[in-house]
Each structure stands twice: as C-alpha cells, then as structure tokens.
Amino acid sequence: MTLQTNQMVPVLMYHHVSPEPGGVTVSPVVFEEQMAYLAKAGYQALAAAEFQSFLAGQYKPAARSILITFDDGYLDNGVYAFPILERLGLRAVIFAVTGWIGDGATRLQPGNADQSHPPRVWSHRDCKAAILAGNTDGIMLRWSEMEQMEASGVVEFHSHTHRHTRWDLDHRNAGERDALVEEDLRLSRDTLRSRLGKSSEHLAWPWGHAEPSYGTLAARVGFKVLYTTRRGVNSAGGSAQEVPRIATKNQGKHWLSSVLWIYRHSLPGRIYSWWENR
C-alpha cells in the first residue's frame, strides 16, 4: 500500500489539566470538551510507537489521527486528565521528568471511579516554587501512579530528561555541557527502564530547546524521536529529530477543531507555523 505522503498528524502539547488556573493550564471542563470533540469527530489518538512508524513512512494511520502529549508529569494529569481519556477511549503520552518522581502509595482511584475527594493539585506557579524548593511529591505523579496509568493502556510515559535543565545557560563550556547532557539523558532512560520495565525512544526537550550537539547525544543514549515546543506539521516520512507540537489553550472544541484543521493540511499548517514561530 502506498502511503499518502501529504498526510499530517498534529501533536498536541499539554502541561496541567487542573481547576487551579494559571499558565499552561487547561481546566478539566475545557479538557473534557476538547477530548469529547476528538472522540466524536473520529480522531484516532496514536501510541508513541505508531507515531514513530508514521514519521518513518512505515505506518498509515486513520485519516484523522493525533498524538496527545503532556510535559513534566504533574499529579493533576492523573487526577483529572487520565479519567477523561480513559472514559473516552483516547490514548496519551506523558513526558516525565524522572528526577522529580518519587515513591509512595497511589493517590488515584481505579478505573473511572468518581473522586468525591480528589487529591489537592496546585497551580503552575506553586508547582514551580515547590520544584525549586525540592518538594516535588505533592505536585508530581508517583511511580506507583505511573505504573497504574500505564497498566490501563491509556497512558504511556517517556522522557522529559532527569533534571529538566537548560544546560546551555548553566554551562558555557561545550565539552562539559555535552557530558552533562548525555549523563542526564542516560539516567532518565535508565530510570524509566528500571521503574516501568521499558526502554523509551521518545524524548521531549525542556522548554523545547536543544543545542546542535544534543541530537547526537540523544541518539547515542537510545532516543530516536525528539520533541520540541515549536509549532509545525508532521508528515509521513518527516523528520523525527525536531517534532513540532501545538501548545494547547484553555479554549473549547471550536478552537481545537479550527487549529487541527490547519495542522492537518500542509500549506495552511506551514504558513501558520511560520507566523506563530516568528
């Protein structure tokens, strides 16, 4: 079967799904409206391996396909986003900062149980303050919760590095910087393997930033698909080294349907990406 080389798969990028308003946050009500739209409109939410095969020109997904991603691994992803995805039959990828994930009992209820007293979640501003203070357990998922979510088949976890660092700002010496990057990436991948029993090939760069040498370092460690925060189109046979994503907004189905139409069509997607990335 010949692939349609002009087929596009948009990649959505979320951070928080939370009733606590703030930056990079979508409310649970809006998130459910967006996901319900995807399900009703017949979108197929791809697994990471399917998206990887699509980029390689080895897999032809449904005409309306999408990759849903989250960055960092916040607790609210499990409390609010996970039950909605599970109920609507949609899959998602969470890029977790492995150094921020701790141990402890799961705080998530199984299945689609209604949480009358959900765990407290925090605003993005409060999360940043907690991370700076080294108090990540209350705001991030735990390994037990990640295992629970993976076992459902709804969510899979991949790497957002181990320490979520802008090495280019902290280390001016290129040789020293690259050694630290490789060590961090290796630690993140090894941690995911030891805790979840799999070797991830998918990596989202912190703040979407990567120096020219980083791609080679990531490949040396074993990562094959590298995600950015820049907008753009993803086509069959396209590059897996700088996967663009669409930063989501706290707006409903009409915003989502319009932006997906743009990024499912090559020319509008490329023009709009150029404008947004200026």
Domain spans of the chain?
A: 11-276
Show the tokens assigned to 171: 């280390």
Q: What is the pLDDT along the chain (278 residues), one digit of tens a residue?
A: 344 447 999 999 999 999 999 999 999 999 999 999 999 999 999 999 999 999 999 999 999 999 999 999 999 999 999 999 999 999 999 999 999 999 999 999 876 555 678 999 999 999 999 999 999 999 999 999 999 999 999 999 999 999 999 999 988 899 999 999 999 999 999 999 999 999 999 999 999 999 999 999 999 999 999 999 999 999 998 899 999 999 999 999 999 999 999 999 887 777 777 777 87
Task: Indicate the DSSP class of residue 63.
Answer: S
Q: Do 228 and 277 meet the contact criterion of CB atoms below 8 Å apart?
A: no
Q: CA–CA separation, 228 vs 238, rounded Å?
A: 14
Place of tokens 């735990």: 142
- Specify the 3-state DSSP secondary structure of 125: helix
Place of tokens 């791809």: 46
Considering only CA atoms, give the Rg of the chain.
Answer: 18
Q: Do 61 and 9 meet the contact criterion of CB atoms below 8 Å apart?
A: yes
Nearest to 27 by CA among 254, 248, 250: 250
HEC string of 201-264?
CEEECHHHCCCCCHHHHHHHHCCCEEECCCCCCCECCCCCCCECCEECCCCCHHHHHHHHHHHC
- Report the Cα 157 to chain-centroid distance in Å: 9
Q: Do 91 and 154 meet the contact criterion of CB atoms below 8 Å apart?
A: yes
Give me the CATH topology for the region 11-276: TIM Barrel (3.20.20)
pTM metric for this prediction: 0.95
